[in-house]
Amino acid sequence: MLNSEIRTKTAEEYAKDAKRAKVLGILKSIGIYTMLTIWAIAVLFPFFWMLITSFKTFGSYNAERVPSLLIKYPTIGNYLSAFTEINLAGYLLNTLIFTVITTLAMVIVSVLAAYAFSRLEFKGKEIVFTIFLALMMIPTELVVITNFVTVTNMGLRNTFTGLILPSVTSVFYIYLLRENFSQIPNNLYLAAKVDGTGDFKYLWKVVIPICKPTIITVLILKVIECWNSFVWPRLITDNDAYFLISQGIQAIRESGFGRENVPAMMAAVVLVSLPLIILFLVFRNKIMEGVARGGTKG
């Protein structure tokens, strides 16, 4: 039965089969693109909506009984009131200071430690490195309680020092940099030693330039983490003058603008989101590569 079927298949039928396969392929593509587009809309819609709403006047937004995606009376007033009616400029500045100092301190501490682990020989190196690796598994939630008590007892609540100090260390980045530093050939180090180059000069003149891509990746990942940090700042500051943007947004939501001014809130949200979105679009490949190598959300 099967054999006879095969025998009777003519060239015409083969052509029909090929055509059918082609139609199926096109249908499959349409299905895939439809699904991907739906998710893309789900991702983009909140951004699109916040942008649109931020240009609406308070009155016209509140008059919308049925939500609308059209801007009837465009205004940039919301952006102005984000700076005049609430302390958004202060929040942004605080976040910038916090992010820059924390990231720089983290990079310096991590590069030094990674260099020691990758290049220097010392007693107990293996044990110390194993301990460092084990520390990677400690969840922040477990240590935040004592850190809160420590910082409070040191009188560092509502200070940048209190905000920054516990946020500096990231064992994971030390590990990542150490892996990268170890890939530099031994010969370079030995040659530098023969020339009488000290370790610090070697680190500064050779290791850092060679490993610049990884260092930049680590830098960007830390910047993202700092820019969005919420839990620790919320615990350690209750003075509006030291709020970072996450808390600022929370404060705006609960009492900002003196009323439910959604368009003004959206202007603030846009201003808070924009710096990282720009950073992402510029360093897209670096960020995605870095996250794939070991970032997690939060």
Partner 1 sequence: MEKNNLKAWLYLLPAILFLGVFLVYPLVDVFIYSFEEGFNSASQTHLGIGFYNYAYVLRDPYFLQALGNTFVLVFITVPVSTLLALVISLGLSSIKWLRKLFQTIYFLPYVTNTLAVGLVFMILFQQTPYTDGMVNFVLSWFGIAPIDFITGPYWAKMLVLSIYTVWTVLPFKILILTSALASVNDTYYQAARVDGTTGMRMFTRITLPMISPSLFYLIITGFIGAFKAYSDAVALFGTNLNSAEMNTIVGYIYDMLYGDGGGYPSFASAAAVILFVIVLTITVINLLVSRKTVHYGGGAGNA
For residues 234-263, which are near partner 1 according to CB under 8 A? 234-235, 245-247, 249-250, 253-254, 260, 262
Specify the stretch interacting with partner 1 by CB under 8 A; choose among 2-10, 61-69, 77-85, 208-216: 61-69
The interface with partner 1 within residues 115-144 (CB under 8 A) comprises 115-117, 120-123, 125, 128, 132, 135, 138-139, 141-144
Tokens of 241: 């003058």
Report the nearest approach of partner 1 to the CB of residue 207 (Å).
Answer: 12
The correct pick among 86, 91, 269, 286 for binding partner 1 (CB under 8 A) is: 269
Specify the stretch interacting with partner 1 by CB under 8 A; choose among 11-19, 74-82, 209-217, 228-236: 228-236
Binding-site string for partner 1 from residue 68 to residue 107, where x marks contact by CB under 8 A and - marks none: ----------------------------------------
The interface with partner 1 within residues 193-212 (CB under 8 A) comprises 199
Using CB under 8 A as the binding rule, whether residue 179 contacts partner 1 is answered as no
SS3 state at 204: helix
DSSP conformational letter for 156:
-
Using CB under 8 A as the binding rule, whether residue 277 contacts partner 1 is answered as yes
Using CB under 8 A as the binding rule, whether residue 23 contacts partner 1 is answered as no
Using CB under 8 A as the binding rule, whether residue 145 contacts partner 1 is answered as yes
